[in-house]
Structure 1
Amino acid sequence: MLYYTLVFLFISLVSCQPTPISGPLITPLPQTYTFGSGVIRLNTGFFDIAANIESDLLNNAILRYQKLFFPFGVGYPTNNPIATLNIKVSSDSEILQLYVSENYTISVEMVGQSPQLEIIADTIFGAMRALETFSQLISYDAQSQSYSIPFVPIYIDDFPRFPWRGLQIDTGRHFIPTSFLMHIIESCAYSKLNTLHWHVSDGESFPAESKSLPNITLGAFGPLAIYTIADMEEIVAYGLSWGVRVLPEFDVPAHSFSWSTAFPGIMANCPGDSDLDGWPLSPALPEAYDLISKIYTDMSEIFIDKYFHSGGDELPYACWDNDPVIANWMTQNNFSTTQAEQYFEDQITNILDGLQKTKVIWHDPFANGCEVRKDTVLQVWDNAQMAQQVVNAGIRAIVSYDWYLDMQIPVPGHTHYEYEDTWLDFYAADPLMGVTTNTELVIGGESCMWGEQVDHRNFDVRVWPRTIAIAERLWSNENVTDTNKALTRFDPFSCHISNRGINSGPLYPDYCLLTSDFSQYSHQPRFKLTKEQIKNIYNSQK
């Protein structure tokens, strides 16, 4: 029996090794690319990046990648020719919003004895995506301590499949330091995710400082577990500097018990319900809407994206039904519980309209029978059938139901011996799987890292490398589905971002050459913004 067990283990280990593929290993896989068999050898002392426009955001990105291109230092001196990466951008606008073009092309070739390296992009954000791709074309040889670009000539024409490609994080259940949130932003940018959905508060904690309501942070875990206004502005600006939108979520009416520490009179009374996490605000109290309006107004000045997530999920109807004050209010207004929820959501819509924000909510109010305005974006956590209903109603959807990173078995019935192999389930879960009509209204998706058992101590290893699969599913062509070829690329990419301080582990037995300082950035960003840069980035979005 021992013999057969050992043979089985040996076969299992061998079988998980992917079949080698030729060509550059790029993740996410570009839409189209061609390559040859030549090599351009690089001299780090004679390598430059030049852009045709003046942009602080692009200049900062260039400075970052000049360091990231050569992670193992300058290398051994060579006589290789001067090489300049020329970046040509059509627009110098620095405004980052949903639907901004991220298209780019890359050409790498030798013309005579001279390297010709070029990026062409519609926007500076497309150029940022191209810089990340270009960084993956550069190979380092540890024995000769030299850099080169193999498989020349290389021609890449790339663009994202979906405009909304996100990672959702949760600081309501565990506080995550500001420095680590910026570290997360970097990891998103490396994978070409363009949205950090920040679930800021929940029933357990309200950690965000409010200019109008300074006492609201009494609902935080403690005085050191608070994001100041300056912290949040730095996070938003840092996201913009990497081409990552920061979308805030302040969840109402449920998941808001932490608000009651400072304002105890605004909550519904839920007799017999000991799960304070889900206790909702009362829809019957004008003070509740006034409080929400003040918080959303303050946060809209900090979170300058046009979209704002107001939650709306998991409202316990029984709580409203069993609260005598709310029940009497519903009777006086001839409201059913669904109509009471409709009234509440209408007030939130009016508040966000006044702030010129587009409302994003979880799909729950729609599923409960509430009317949802067609300019709303619904995040679907349930299943593809619900996503189909949403888009059939003419409403845009972002999907998350197959991408819950906190679940041991994210897809029912799919189990794996190795936990990391759930990436296979994530990779197989196409956003349009099960959605057959009005597919143009599915604008993307998000992986969700809920925070009940996650904070900065274990965040990276719970998210990466599995989210690489989700990032590729949202960026690359829908026909890119070969898991063997994906594995061949994903594991080197995991090593690639590990060298930048992202604690992303292996997917099969191999060796990852790491820089001597990689762990220095495992809980903090590699780069920082000055106060002046933060101010300038905010001004650039006006």
Structure 2
Amino acid sequence: MSRIGFLLLLVLVSSSVFAQKAKPAPALALIPEPVQVAQTKGTFELTAKTVIVLPKGHEAHLGVAQLLSQRLQVPTGFALPVKVGARKKNSIQFQLFPQPQPELGSEGYTLEVTPQAILLQANAPAGWFYGIQTLLQLLPPAVESKQTVAGVRWEIAGVKIKDYPRLAWRGLMVDVSRHFFPKEVMKAYIDQMAKYKLNTFHWHLTDNQGWRVEIKSLPKLTQVGAWRVPRTGYWKGFQAPQPGEAATDGGFYSQEDIKEIIRYAEERFVTIVPEVDVPGHSLALIASYPNLSCTQTPQQVLAGDPWNPQRTNVLCVGNDSTFTELEKVFSELAQLFPGEYLHMGGDEVTRSYWDKCAKCQQRIKTEGLKNSEELQTYFLKRLARIIQSKGKKPMGWYEKLEGRLAPNMAVMSWKDMKGGIAASQQGHKVVMTPAFNTYLDFYQGDPYLENGPFTVTRLNATYNWNPVPLEANAANILGGQGSLWTEQVAHERKLQSMTWPRALSLAEVFWTPQPKRQWENFIPRLEAHLPRLDAAEVNYATHFYEPIVWGVKDSSGALQVVLSSEIRDIEMYYTFDDSNPDKFYPKYQGQPLDIPKGAHHIRVVSYRHGQRVGREINLPLSEVEKRVRK
């Protein structure tokens, strides 16, 4: 889904906190923060003689223990054997509780590290897996390295941990329609999210700019719909296809690719939820099969946005063949994906096409509908029945419609929390992904330096958010997710930097009990994880370090500059003379800055604990003028 036309207010406000005494790094820097954690005496040292032990009778779950062995072998150089048998010293021991512990559920675990051994207990293998992720975070950051690291003592601090998730649906979404990412990129993304106990990968496979999933009964979807003319630059300015220009940019996942990615995700206890976005956002589908549109005219897959009268991106609901073809699509999806939900999109429909379509108007009359808005409800309900007939549960983006949503349809609340609250009260299952708190395509630093199509979602906005508001029916809140639309994300490195570290904060929002989450406690733990991301060669943004700049007017009406930051212990140094500031330049002291005569820019840099962090912010004062607050 593009979110063109949906603009939130530009919010630059953040807590204005300045330099204070530096705090020591936390002894246990775990993300997400466990439910209960206590440090104990001593350490366990992982050596080449350490053994991973699985109890007898649980050989069916050998894969979880082997995954740990594989993760450890590359950075440590130790080929740790996985054995079935009794407990022993110098071992990592897996156990299932003889009597289930209801509080832990299927994903909870307990972890005890002593100098002699490590004991990991759970009700089910998923709990083992999440305990492994915590265990790996107790090792030095070099454990994330993709090559063997010499000279490291692989010590694990003594701890006793009891842990289980707050929410069942802990997700991230990636849009692969606007830009296609190969299967190895998707596997790496899933692997990284699983490290932080995120368990649902929402895969936005189709939209106006590309169809990415092979449907064998409809081959043109990938022969035609998966390809567009190549364009680079700002999304809104992309030139339309030129006469005779070849569509060479794109790609798709074969059904064998998808099966491979599903297996990879299942090994990491990640469920994949596929999305085919209809009846709007369907230009790639219509370009493949023009007879499914109201105009039935040839269309081309576009690189940019199709919002103009000549581009038909909405399916014809008056045409029964539309539902015949969609049944083929969702039948194959149901056979491919083992998860319980199939996502059908369903929002942002340009209903003006239906208003002009004789077949759609006849459908309105035949079905006794009032208008095109109720026709959208009709479409959702009919497609929902098709999905249910395949043994799956339908899910879509929340839309406020006169005829309401399909009765058994789960929804994702994206515009705000209000839609999710209302849906939960009406009995719908809900995944919260309100744009301002969770949209990872929104820029995360100063908008003047970013190339974001919409607005800002800073790190503190993702962290200081509660996905289960008091007004909601909590029993119907499945959980939440971060959503990454890729209009401006063309490369894996940017895919990573738009996700991390904001997905780290969301991981804690979804897992850690609400009363235990504290922004000031999160930041030092986050900083301890940045070397882990470096070791894993995962790109991440450091914009949370950077100054936030806005303007005020003094009593005479003259412009002044005010600086703030998201986090504590930030020192900011500035200049108005167009030189590049460092810590030898004037330091911001918390008061509005008078602007010297003749100045036209302000440049600001941040330092934390004596080290420069983040980018230099270089703003024209004309931009600061636009940000004046009363």
Q: Which residue of 2 aligns with 1:502?
A: 538
**TM superposition shift of 1:260:** 1.5
Residue 353 of structure 2 corresponds to residue 319 of structure 1: yes
Q: Does 1:372 align with 2:405?
A: yes
Distance (whole Å) between structure 2 residues aligned to residue 416 and residue 101 of structure 1: 46
Judge conservation of contact 2:95–2:120 (CA < 8 Å) in 1.
Answer: yes
Task: Say whether 1:161 aligns with 2:194.
Answer: no
Structure possessing the higher radius of gyration over alpha carbons: 2
Structure 2's unaligned 5+ residue stretches are: 1-15, 79-87, 99-103, 143-148, 228-247, 298-305, 546-607, 612-630
Contact 1:57 1:241 in 2 (8 A): no
1:242 alignment partner in structure 2 = 268
The answer to whether residue 484 in structure 2 is matched with residue 449 in structure 1 is yes
The amino acid across from 2:426 in the alignment is: A
- Who is 1:26 aligned against? 30
Asked whether 1:431 is paired with 2:470, we answer no
Q: Report whether the alignment pairs 1:491 with 2:527.
A: yes
Does residue 172 of structure 2 align to residue 171 of structure 1?
no
- After TM superposition, the score normalised by the length of structure 2 is 0.69
Match of 1:344 among 355, 369, 379: 379
Name the counterpart of 1:307.
341
- Matching residue's letter, 1:267: S
Are 2:22 and 2:609, in contact at CA under 8 Å, matched by a contact in 1?
Answer: no
Match of 2:458 in 1: 422
Partner of 2:239: none
What amino acid does structure 1 have at the position aligned with 2:415?
A: D
**Partners of 1:219 and 1:258 within 8 A in 2:** yes
Q: Deviations over 1:380-432 (max 9, x none)?
A: 0011222221111121111111200111369xxx9899999811110011102
Please give the secondary structure, in 2, of the residue aligned with 1:193.
coil
TM-fit CA distance, 1:331: 3.3
Gaps of 5+ in 1: 1-11, 76-80, 92-98, 513-542
Task: Quote the offset at 1:495 in angstroms.
Answer: 2.4
2:226 to 214, 220, 227: 220
- Provide the rounded CA distance (Å) in 2 between the counterparts of 1:190 and 1:88: 21
Query: Deviation of residue 237 (structure 1)?
Result: 1.0
Aligned to 2:134: 133
State the partner residue of 2:553. none
Deviates most, 302-311 or 278-287: 278-287
CA distance in 1, matches of 2:533, 2:524: 15
Q: Of 407, 410, 432, which residue of structure 1 is paired with 2:442?
A: 407
Give the structure-1-normalised TM-score. 0.80
- Taking the aligned partners of 1:486 and 1:130, their CA distance within structure 2 comes to 20
Give the counterpart letter for 2:139 in structure 1.
I
State the shift of 1:193 in Å.
Answer: 0.5
- Summarize deviations over 1:7-39 as a string: whole Å, max 9, x none: xxxxx9983996235431111110111112423
Structure with the larger helix share = 1
Assess if the C-alpha contact under 8 Å between 2:497 and 2:540 holds in 1.
yes
Secondary structure at the residue paired with 1:45?
coil
> Equivalent residue of 2:214, what SS?
coil
Given the superposition, is the C-alpha separation of residues 373 and 260 from structure 1 closer, same or farther in structure 2, using an over 3 Å criterion?
A: closer
Could you say which residue in structure 2 is the equivalent of 1:263? 289
Query: Match for residue 358 of structure 1?
Result: 393
Deviation at 1:116, TM superposition (A): 2.7
Residue 190 of structure 1 corresponds to 195
Query: Is the alpha carbon distance of 1:466 and 1:195 closer, same or farther for their aligned partners in structure 2, counting shifts above 3 Å?
Result: same
- CA-to-partner distance for each residue in 1:40-96, whole Å, 9 max, x for gaps? 333x21112112266788433333322434664349xxxxx95101101359xxxxx
* 1:462 equivalent in structure 2: 498
CA distance in 2, matches of 1:333, 1:417: 52
Q: Residue 66 of structure 1 aligns with which residue?
A: 69
Q: Give the aligned residue type for 2:341.
A: Y
Q: Verify the 8 A CA contact 2:438 2:457 in the aligned structure 1.
A: no
**Distance 1:227-1:421 versus aligned 2 partners, 3 A rule:** closer
Structure 2: distance between partners of 1:146 and 1:35: 19
Equivalent residue, structure 2, for 1:392: 425
User: C-alpha offsets along residues 136-193 of structure 1, whole Å, 9 cap, x if unaligned?
Assistant: 112379996312122x2x1111111000010000011111101101011101101110
Aligned to 2:565: none
Give the 3 Å change call, closer, same or farther, for CA 388–224 of structure 1 in structure 2: closer
Q: 1:511 to 1:461 in 2, by over 3 A?
A: farther
Cα distance in 2, alignment partners of residues 34 and 494 from structure 1:
23
1:41 is aligned to 45
Change (3 A) 1:164 1:59: same
- Kept in 1: contact 2:283–2:314 (CA 8 A): yes
Alignment counterpart, residue 210 of structure 2, candidates 205, 210, 229: 205
Listed one character per residue, the Cα deviations across residues 418-469 of structure 1 (whole Å, up to 9, x for unaligned) are 9998111100111024x42422221201100001111343211111111100
Amino acid at match of 1:295: V
CA contact (8 A) 2:194 2:270 kept: yes
Q: Find the counterpart in structure 2 of residue 88 from structure 1.
A: 95
SS for the counterpart of 1:36 is: strand
| Secondary structure, aligned partner of 2:128 | helix
SS at match of 2:458: helix
Tell me the residue number matched to 1:106.
111
Deviations 1:88-129 (A, max 9, x none): 1359xxxxxxx972111101124xxxx131111111111111
More deviation in 335-344 or 235-244? 335-344
Secondary structure of residue in 2 paired with 1:341: helix
Residue identity matched to 1:24: L
| Cα contact 2:220–2:288 (8 A) shared by 1 | yes
- Give the whole-Å Cα distance in 1 for the aligned partners of 2:165 and 2:332: 33
User: Compared with structure 1, are the counterparts of its residues 416 and 344 closer, same or farther at alpha carbon in structure 2 (3 Å cutoff)?
Assistant: same
User: 1:173, 1:278 → 2: CA distance?
Assistant: 17
Cα RMSD of the aligned pairs, angstroms, is: 3.3
Query: What is residue 528 of structure 1 aligned with on the other side?
Result: none
1:375 Cα deviation from its structure 2 partner: 3.6
Tell me: CA distance 1:174–1:143, structure 2 relative to 1, closer, same or farther (3 Å): closer
Asked whether the equivalents of residues 300 and 355 of structure 1 are also in contact (C-alpha less than 8 Å), the reply is yes
Tell me: CA distance 1:71–1:159, structure 2 relative to 1, closer, same or farther (3 Å).
same
Q: Which amino acid aligns with 1:198?
A: W
Match of 2:365 among 323, 331, 337: 331
Check conservation: 1:266, 1:285, Cα contact below 8 A: yes
The equivalent residue for 1:297 is: 331
Cα distance in 1 between the residues matched to 2:392 and 2:167:
21
CA contact (8 A) 2:226 2:252 kept: yes
How far is the alpha carbon of 1:319 from its aligned partner? 2.2
Q: Could you say if the C-alpha distance between residues 437 and 213 of structure 1 is closer, same or farther in structure 2, counting changes exceeding 3 Å?
A: closer
Q: How many residues align?
A: 476
